[in-house]
Each structure stands twice: as structure tokens, then as C-alpha cells.
Amino acid sequence: MTLKLTDIVLTYPDGDRTLTALDHVDLTVERGEFTAVVGPSGSGKSSLLAVAATLITPVSGTVSVAGHEVSGASQAARTRLRREHIGIVFQQSNLLASLTALDQLLVMADLSGRSTREAAVRARELLAAMDLSDKEDKRPHQLSGGERQRVNIARALMNEPEVLLVDEPTSALDQHRGERIVSLLATLTKRNGLATVMVTHDLATLARVDTVLSMADGRLTAGPVDGASPEDGRPDRPSTSPTRHQATKNSSSSGARA
């Protein structure tokens, strides 16, 4: 199992009390599986991603990434694990303003000690896969919102991660560009064998994912919120299995504690 969170409890100090952001959460995502987490603001979605990214240590529970147990690992080991196995795409494009699209990717390779030649080949391949070959030399302000988000995704894939964590990828995009980004994520998940977790408010994008989970008050349960259909907003899409979103959670790989 590529990403496995078991019985995670995460709290934050809240004045003289403690706020439970994640309340005994289980999550398993296999390679090639695209999982979406939906839920209201403040329900714990970003906290879940941060724990999965090994950026925050939970009070209890275990995190395993690509077969590596995170609990008890040193800070240096976590950083290495993150660099080698996890790609993160943040909500807003956080590209460096002064760098070209190509250099945004090369910086990642530099941090992980890849050879410059090998990195340049991979970066160009990734930009081509994102349909950005003609934008290699463009800086962020010369790119559209959708193009910036595709550079973000390419950058997250630079070190060939097994796990891809994506926070609200469509929030700054119009519907068409948003759908294109999620479609791209779905394709990459299958093609690269990624275990992808996407936090989203955008129910229209759920038609492209394999599994939908809902966060509410720090608890993760199977299925979309309020009975919303994953096909909402995409009536023309060929349906793979409308009921799988519910079934997957309860029966097999992805575990969410109800």
C-alpha cells in the first residue's frame, strides 16, 4: 500500500482547550488510485494532507508512505522521504516569480541531487506531457492560471513520487481549466501509478476520481457530502461505476472509519 494512515488523531491548541482536527482517521490509497476528499471549511481536509505529507506529526496513529513508516523517523529522514516519494501541489500556484517554467522544475532536481543533464531531460519530458513545451522559458506572470497549475503539477512529479497530494487544484481556475487540470491528474494517476489524494470543494470534478471521501468535524467517511453525485456537473461523461465511490470505501483498499 502506497499511502496508509492508521487511526490518526491530530489536535491543535485552542486557547485553554484542545481542538481535535483529525479524529481517528484511517486512509489507504493504492498506486493508480485517485481519491478525493471533500467537506466543509474547517473540517480537517488540509490537516489530513499535511499529515500525509509528513509535514505535521499527529498525536497518535501511524503514517506509512511507499512502505516507509514515518512515525519515529527523524526530521532529516522525513525530509528525505518527502523529497523522494511525495509530490505536493498547493492550492495557489506558489511558483517562484523570477524563474522560468523549466527552472521551476530544475530547482526541485537540484534539491534532490539529480544530475543536471538527467534533470533537464526529465523536466522537458514533464513539460511536454503537460502540453507546455512552448512555455519552457516563460515566467509565472507570462502564464495563464491553468498553465501555472500545470507547471505546479509537473514540478511535483519531478522526483518521480509514488504519492501525489493535491490541495484545491481548481480553486483559482474557471470551470473549463479546472476540469482540464483534474482530468490531467486522473490520467497521470493511472499512467504513473500514483496514489493521488485531492482535497476539493469542487463537486464537478468528482466524476474523474475513483474514490470520494468526506471530512466532517475531523472524521472521514465514505461517499460524497450531502448525497451529491460524483457525476454532478458532468452529465455527459461516460460513467465507469457510479456506485464504486461508496463501495470502495467499505469493501477494499481505501479505508475510512465511519
Ligand X SMILES: Nc1ncnc2c1ncn2[C@@H]1O[C@H](COP(=O)(O)OP(=O)(O)OP(=O)(O)O)[C@@H](O)[C@H]1O
Residues that bind ligand X (CB under 6 A): 12, 19, 21, 39, 41-47, 215
CA nearest to 242, candidates 213, 214, 220, 210: 210
Nearest-angstrom CA–CA distance, 12 and 20: 7
Q: Which is nearer to ligand X, 132 or 173 (CB)?
A: 173
Query: Which cell numbers hold the place of 171?
Result: 480553486
CA distances from residue 41 to 9, 21, 37, 46, 218 in whole angstroms, order as listed: 19, 12, 12, 10, 11
Give least dist CB 19 to ligand X, A.
6
Give least dist CB 14 to ligand X, A.
6
Strand (E) positions, the chain? 3-14, 17-29, 33-38, 60-65, 68-69, 86-89, 163-167, 195-199, 211-216, 219-222
Give least dist CB 70 to ligand X, A.
18
DSSP single-letter state for residue 77 = H
DSSP single-letter state for residue 135 = G
Q: Which is nearer to ligand X, 45 or 249 (CB)?
A: 45
Cβ neighbours of residue 167 closer than 8 Å, sequence gap 6 or more: 45, 46, 49, 88, 89, 90, 91, 198, 199
CA distances from residue 139 to 88, 99, 120, 147, 153 in whole angstroms, order as listed: 20, 6, 17, 11, 16
Place of cell 500514483: 194
Give least dist CB 190 to ligand X, A.
26
Q: Which is nearer to ligand X, 91 or 192 (CB)?
A: 91
Give least dist CB 96 to ligand X, A.
24
Looking at the chain, how many residues does it have? 258
Q: Which is nearer to ligand X, 23 or 232 (CB)?
A: 23
Give least dist CB 172 to ligand X, A.
14
Give least dist CB 197 to ligand X, A.
13
